[in-house]
Structure 1
């Protein structure tokens, strides 16, 4: 990562040789003058008591309150992160760290850096990402807002486990340790608070060894409000999870809608459906079923396109079963399905128009004919959706690298005289 400036701390070499540093405690910082010294001193003290060759690294994100000087005086090495945001500071710090393992934690003194033995043991045992779990270790009074404790963190963590099958109970714990090179290899890209989710999700998709240890969350020692913004940062976490799981964002909801719509349409196609005394479903429910089919099909196709785009740009790893499906869903096959649906829809409308013509284009009270019209129009809409989506899929398959390689082969085979 370019642009890292360093100040203070340990020398880069000792007697001309690189020092052997096993652990780096990484602390992102932005105007934490009230608590940064406490965090650094606790971390330095832990290394000394545990006999660990380590460094305390503060990745500063533009502090103007003297945090840099305070951190250096307490024994930390400081790097200046040129990328704004929580994720930006951590990304820069991870690249600047000298330890084989990194343990990261916030600079507000809410995590206890004086005892990190559980993280150290798990990392030395082969864990590549070791997450703290505040719900198992304990949340002290006043340490976490009730909205975060009972809604935000549990819901987002549950969504993460559901979408990605990750055995982690606290997705957003700020205290975690990892094998530095393993995390660098993930090529993490977000710069905001969603960096915490990206690390866990990417580690899971890369099949890293993820473990969890209990950790205690204390009330932070700051007098100012935290940098975290509940709704803004909560949405950024949720958005990241959704965009990286096309199955749950598009595929499964679309399949549920489509199947429910088809069941409703099939049940009502013969006529009115009586449920119980005085309650029945008729043409309005039939229209709802048609709409559910249209929306469901479009969601499924969007999921296929999103998954292909993600695999093409290596945003998501290739999956064998998913790849077989993506390979089977070609532009030509989508267009063939669209043509069949279009023909069926046009045929249905032609039939209904013929019946209407036989009635001299007057009023028709035949509810079944109206159902045929609605279903035919829905088929035409789905056909148009599929056709447009098929062409979009074809555009995605125009890979610039492949096109350039083909052009190079043509130039080599047929040189211009």
Structure 2
């Protein structure tokens, strides 16, 4: 172990804290160049590597970023005994909860323990931690014992555990249709749905990925009865992912009630009808700005700006506004070449090769949408978290069989 001056170690410590916060902010971005996030993650790994080799450095770890920095640097140590103690501390802080527990989760996500037995012990002994453990296992890509995912095991458990377990199961190729159908088939029984919408969202997504034939009807029924705005948005997002034409009458009023949500979902829908609704929104003062922000998802480029019109006697009219005519002209050139079942995505018809290319270069919320569209187009779970580090994500995407990707260009 190299002995460094305290100021040397402190520099790396401060950099880790800054980069940890920066990565969290970047991942929440609506749309982000994946290369920006990849650089942040690479530099974060570098500072952790160096700090792990600075002897004798100690710092308080009462906040999440500090707890992450301390544990992740120990888990990056070249010394087995330091790593082992780091895992023991991480498990203790996980059980303790609070800010330190959150930092422990982040450190264990970055540096998973090859021995999963301790986490299974915690799952058995600390019931309130079970939802967070499913979240951790999903991020780590670890295959949990199948018994933990049986409907009988989950039924009657609290809502948070069912949501976390189903969200984990969605992305696991080893989990079949039966688990998800046990939840979402209840939507076909008539009457008010008995399950919380937050539970139905991952159940419906899992069923959709596995080819549930009644998924459109199930989704529309769940949307009809859902009152919570955040859960309703999550359900509508699933409908937009599959470009359900029957959901457009719901998205049109949503554009007026919650313009940012409506514009994003119409762009995600990508059908000719959705594009035309979005173009209409570009001509309306209340929706033009959000429609312009969503437009690159359709066209692959931002709209030009034009001087805002001003009528005599009216207030406002200063500055610039999105050029709705430019969007209309662009669409007129492409509308006739788009077949009825095709969708627009970043300037071209949606296809597997297009999705694969975009998955390599987009991060943030857009990166998550692309991964979900790719999984849906392939017809199977991808078995990688949308929050995975970019290096891991790129390696996974590069390893996908090219035959299946390019075969999809004809679908």
Which TM-score bucket, shorter chain as reference? Answer: under 0.3
Higher relative helix content: 2
Question: TM-score under structure 2 normalisation?
Answer: 0.26
* Higher CA-based Rg: 1
Question: TM-score under structure 1 normalisation?
Answer: 0.25
